[in-house]
A and B are shown apart, each in its own frame.
Chain A
């Protein structure tokens, strides 16, 4: 459904859409290509709703794909490329939010809730034991 945003953008730039083709630059080496695709899936298309640059048809995503591939060709590591993009666009570009003070809550809350619920369940189960077995 967020494709609507992208398809609108696409419609607005149909003339330049040809350069948005990921086919144009494909690494001949299959392992490098796989790495590039995996990296592209971890990066968000900034103008789309929650799409990665790997699937987006927006011109910006095509530019970002090109950038990623350029840097891979220059021999940069995935970490370096991500660092470069974060410095340029902010954490928003990462599909996986980084673990840092302002995301501790995000990462920990599910497990804290799980443990809390588990603790309550433990307490309820203990309390509900029939009298004859709690004696021991």
Chain B
């Protein structure tokens, strides 16, 4: 019953998405008149209907997972009755079919929001709904033909195959929905940009702004969550590996960041109109490419749940069509757009443009680093394989991004159209003081000394100092005025965390028996043996490791090694004790016999700052969004009065 209900809901959703795209595009084209008005209403109604039916399909799949309905192949392959409830639910998107359904659910949510909020002119909204409908239709077809989560299996097995234990983790439970909210959120900007090209309407940047902000915030949080998960789950104390899958999420983030900045100028004075459109198209295109990379099996990792060539082929065709059509539309219509008002060489506009130059450069580094090895492999028929590891990004991405960070504080201080560099520098001079203090502190406290580390801390001090000055300058202004300061301060916080963890992490790898001690950084640890612990669906070997303070036990850490019998896998569960400024990180290695175990210990200075900074950045986005929605509510009342 459940399977058929879900299937039916997906078919209705597909029909509605087709109606929505047709009606939306008709409503955009016809301009005034009763037919256009009708088409627009149909588009709005079908967007809301699409959301209802996709949500119904998704709810059905969740129910099937929760009730362990193993007559559905997707549930049988990815769930198990013994799994805790939360992982039954998150298992829905822990596999290819379910995660594609989540993708379409998020796409429909944004379509529903575009329809409900009706931001921008009615023709613009209608065209945006039309484009969003086309995207929904394409992905629904993809699901129904290549990745149907409701396919039956006969006879139904008595028990499911379980879920990869690495994915059975609270951090990873919310990571995919968050990342998708960002990835797919860029579809709204894409649809608005395509709509603006179709109907030639200005003001699309203002209309799409809240969607850009939400997508950017979600991407920021999603990437941070993924990195945090990798940190505590994988057991190596690392937080970013330049893995192609990570890069696939970083690229849309970089472009979305560029888009947020460029769109500010477009909204304000019409500057960089075509460039902003191109960024909106590029951001979502990179999301699609990321989906292709992750889902097609081109990269074999936990993310590529299945490598089925038809799926890869389908997504590739979809990408080529979407990006190709958008770029063709761009090439056709962009030259007709008017240029913006003029601005001085030293101005906010120039600063925003410079921001984009560096973000495009750093995106290029990630893009080439991710795709070049694949291209080279394919072009040489597997004769030449190269690895592009962290050293490559340290020499390309890092310096470009670092140059951007140096310039960030100037942006908010320069006036629109005409800025005063000297006055800005004077205003920011106390921040230079803070930069010097940060550099001096690092030189005295940290050992060994690194030029890069000292520079990075100076820049972090510069960023945070400039944000504090910006706060003080705008005292008494509305909350949204502090958005940039907060987001830029977050960059400084993350920079400190990344630098300190990368350069000054101490580690120890020892084989210890009961009662023996080991040291890592400033800490002395005593190994007190292991006990067996029975989890809901795993058997854990739990080590008791005492953190000693002058001969007394200050705290006991319990890293585990878990065996999941259903899945037949062993997963480490690390123990982390944080002071907020430094993490003591323990992972249990293998059994060396006679009660002796390998224990890995790390002390990562400022590690929590990495994710704290990301949170601060996202809060900056939230402030900006809050200001937007308030302005909208405030603007609602004068709009009631007759216009001019």
Contacts and interface: CB of A to CB of B under 8 A. Distances in A.
B532 interface: no
Given A11-B568, A113-B361, A4 B387 contact: no
A1 B509 CA distance: 22
Interface string A95-136: 111100011011101110110011001001110111101000
Nearest to A114: B361
A113 B340 contact: no
A7 interface: yes
A106 B353 CA distance: 25
Contacts of A125: 343, 345, 349-350, 353
Interface size for chain B: under 10, 10 to 19, 20 to 34, or 35 or more residues? 35 or more
B388 A97 contact: yes
B365 A44 contact: no
Nearest to B269: A128
B414 to A, nearest CB: 13
Contacts of A17: 590
A24 B400 CA distance: 41
Given A1-B230, A110-B400, A113-B364, A128 B387 contact: no
Contacts, number: 159
B389 A96 contact: yes
Which size bracket describes the interface of A in this complex? 35 or more
Contact of A124 (B272, B510, B598): B272
Contacts of A126: 345
B598 A23 contact: yes
A55 interface: yes
A10 to B, nearest CB: 8
B642 interface: no
B78 interface: no
A110 B359 CA distance: 11
A1 B166 contact: yes
Nearest to A107: B396
Interface in B224-247: 230, 234-236, 238, 241-245
Interface of A: 1-5, 7-8, 10-11, 17-18, 21-23, 42, 44, 49-52, 55, 90-98, 102-103, 105-107, 109-111, 113-114, 117-118, 121, 124-126, 128-131, 133
Interface of B: 164, 166, 230, 234-236, 238, 241-245, 271-272, 299-303, 339-340, 342-345, 349-350, 353-354, 356-358, 360-362, 364-365, 368-369, 372-373, 376, 380, 384-392, 395-397, 400, 509-511, 568-571, 590, 592, 598
Given A4-B302, A105-B372, A110-B368, 6 more contacts: A4-B164, A50-B387, A97-B388, A110-B400, A128-B271, A130-B342
5 contacts: A96-B392, A97-B388, A111-B361, A128-B343, A130-B343
